[in-house]
Amino acid sequence: MAFKIALAVFAATVAAASVCAQTPAPADPVATLVDHLALDKYKATIQGLTQFGDRRQGTERNRQALDWIEAQLKRYGCTNTERLRYEFTEPARRGPVQLQPLRAGGPAAQGGGTLFGRRAPIGVNTDPMAQPDERLRALNAEPTPPGTTPRESVYCTKVGSTRPDEMYIVSAHMDGIGFGEAANDDGSGTALVMELARIFSLPGVTTERSIRFILWNNEETGLNGAYAYVAQRKDLQGIESPKGSGRYPEPTWLGLIQHDMLLFDHGMPVPKLDAAGKPVLDARGQPVHVAPKEQRAEADVNVEFQVNSKQAEGSARLAWQLRAANEKYATDYPAAVGNRMTNTDSTPFMDLVPAISVRENERGMQIGAGWNPHWHQPTDLFSTYSDKDFLLGLNAAQTTLAAVAQLAGAKIGR
């Protein structure tokens, strides 16, 4: 009798194990959301932004781009779009930024050995005639009007299901300069934010905490759109309005993730060679350096925080959470964490909330040393970049989407 009972228990155990083996494990909601990202959709959004040229702040093309972004967000299902209005006065015009002259005969002039390695010129193109495309030159012809005039940024919000009073901010700037198409700076970041808004707005997707998708204006003039948002909204955090409604127009900020230039990581400038394979020299007899044509094998997504900010510890944790998300969910390029976040719209937040910046290169060193020759130039065009370049931007989107989905508690219903 005991033997029969034991045999029955064994059979039941085997049957249960067989059923478990046949039952698939629950799908990872983060992986499912990341799978909704596609290179063609990301590229199409960047290309859609380029119809408005460089989107210079204060111009009609800038306002048309804002309207287009808002319409797209609504079409995606992120219907609670809002505008933040603020006043801005155009500062005095300044010429292009110039590098300090290289010391004659020094290691930099010889093409290596300094902190920056080989350098290439950087600056801001202020000459519309530097754009050879007549159609694009005409599109970008309107200058910023003088005087004080209202400006606007646009945003929409994924409202949290259980903690609507807490929020992560995912952002980029939609304005550009240089008389090109601002495809990389910052069409690449704007498209990323819009793609994430689309995916988090898909039917059945819920998050425990809120997520706000913001497209800043006036980044190129001094982060003015982001500073205006902080000034207007920081003291409204976590306040229920109307009282008892369960609505929080400005949920408490848990973290901010800014995206600024995501496509071009071709590495250190290399000597330019003539038809005979000899180095081309400039007017001072020094070698001319240019960016390599192909995305480098070591290309990566740079996640930066500011080491001397008041929220440095929390910002570092947030940066490493993106690094971990990249390792698990990104498909092609790794992420690297740095502690020198500068000159983008995360700066106004960095002493108030954990804030990080996602970029193609280290901002202070690599971009400052001319690693991206299209920065603020007429060549910042959609046609300039290859699929390898766009894929770097897509990997940045995978990284941020995965991290935010985990942090905000994303779920997918049936």
Residue with tokens 């005087």: 147
Tell me how crowded residue 324 is: count the other CB atoms within 10 A of its CB. Answer: 15
So what's the pLDDT on residue 173?
98
The gap between the terminal CA atoms of the chain, to the nearest Å, is: 48
- Condensed to tens digits (0 to 9), the pLDDT of residues 288-344 reads 888 999 999 999 999 999 999 999 999 999 999 999 999 999 999 999 999 999 889
Mean pLDDT by 10 residues, the chain (414 residues): 52 51 78 98 98 97 98 97 93 46 36 54 90 97 87 98 98 98 98 98 98 98 97 98 95 98 95 90 88 94 97 98 98 96 95 98 88 96 98 98 98 88
So what's the pLDDT on residue 14?
47
Q: What rounded mean pLDDT belongs to the chain?
A: 90
Local structure of residue 145 (DSSP, 8 states): P
So what's the pLDDT on residue 222?
95
* Cis peptide preceding 165, ω within 30 of 0: no
What residues have CB less than 8 Å from 338, skipping those under 6 apart? 302, 303, 304, 305, 362
Where are the domains positioned within the chain?
27-90+98-412
So what's the pLDDT on residue 118?
72
Residues in the chain: 414
What residues have CB less than 8 Å from 103, skipping those under 6 apart? 109
Looking at domain 27-90+98-412, its CATH superfamily turns out to be Zn peptidases (3.40.630.10)
So what's the pLDDT on residue 1?
55
Distance between CA atoms of 224 and 234, rounded to whole angstroms? 15
So what's the pLDDT on residue 89?
84
Strand partners, 169: 212, 256
Distance between CA atoms of 207 and 209, rounded to whole angstroms? 5
So what's the pLDDT on residue 115?
43
Rg (CA), the chain: 24
* Cis peptide preceding 186, ω within 30 of 0: yes
Give the burial class of 210: count Cβ atoms within 10 A of its Cβ; 0-12 exposed, 13-18 middle, 19 or more buried. Answer: buried
